[in-house]
Copies of this chain bind each other. A is one copy, B any other.
Amino acid sequence: MLYNRKAWKHVFKLDPAKSLTSDQIREVCQSGTDAIVVGGTDNVTLEGVINLLSQIRMYSIPCVLEVSTVDAITPGFDFYDIPIVLNSQEKKWVLDAQHQAIKQFGPMIDWSELTTEGYVILNPEAKAYQLTNCYLPDREDVIAYAQMAEQMFNLPILYLEYSGTYGDPELVRQVKQHLNKTQLVYGGGITTLEQAKEMAQYADTIVVGNSLYDNFAESIETVHVKK
């Protein structure tokens, strides 16, 4: 792909199980954000993904599918992000689900479009945390995951996910100090430009998602973090 993901400072994440109006999707795509990520945890269906993709594709903006279920994979995205949940307590969410998908679809995969994301999910109330049976890591645990991501697995992305709640900027700052090649993505609870600016001091990329569905106008303003 032609896009330099490393340069993305701000992305919006749209949930295929939730809805925005056509005007809102246009506004998101033309907001000046660097990319749109399509992803969710509950009720992600192929129909929902295709419906959202077709609306986003009306605009000239990079579009990423974050794969949560193989049933909802469809062609037409620029990238396919494969999460591995580092703080899950089950091998299923680190290797096995991904392994089964590769076993099934290996010959069809264009590896240049696939990006592995090391997730650390830090909000015990989040659906993804509960689905993947995570434990809550302490500060040293998270830093050790960052070192593994960069040094052992050469992961392109480490994703600190506070899904639904605003995280700890000090932890994000400390994790960033241990990463050089691996891109640090922060997501969770960003509803205002001030929060976006705070996390963008440390994270390479911030993800704004849920707040689009709660307070659309203020959420859109977070793109000004890029200035």
Contact indicator A99/B151 (Cβ below 8 Å): no
Known contacts A86-B95, A91-B94, A94-B95; decide if A153 and B151 are in contact (CB<8 Å): no
Which residues of chain A in 87-118 are interfacial with respect to chain B, using CB atoms and an 8 Å cutoff? 88-91, 94-95, 98-100, 102-103, 106, 109, 111, 114, 116
User: What residues of B have a CB within 8 angstroms of the CB of A116 in the complex?
Assistant: 152-153
Contact indicator B90/A148 (Cβ below 8 Å): no
Contact indicator A141/B91 (Cβ below 8 Å): no
Give per-residue flags for A135-149: 1 if the beta carbon is below 8 A from chain B beta carbons, else 0.
000001101110110
* Copies of this polypeptide in the complex: 2
Contact indicator B102/A144 (Cβ below 8 Å): yes
Bound CA–CA A138/B82 (angstroms): 23
Q: Shortest 9 CB-CB distances between A and B: which pairs?
A: A154-B154, A103-B144, A91-B91, A102-B144, A116-B152, A111-B151, A153-B153, A103-B140, A102-B147
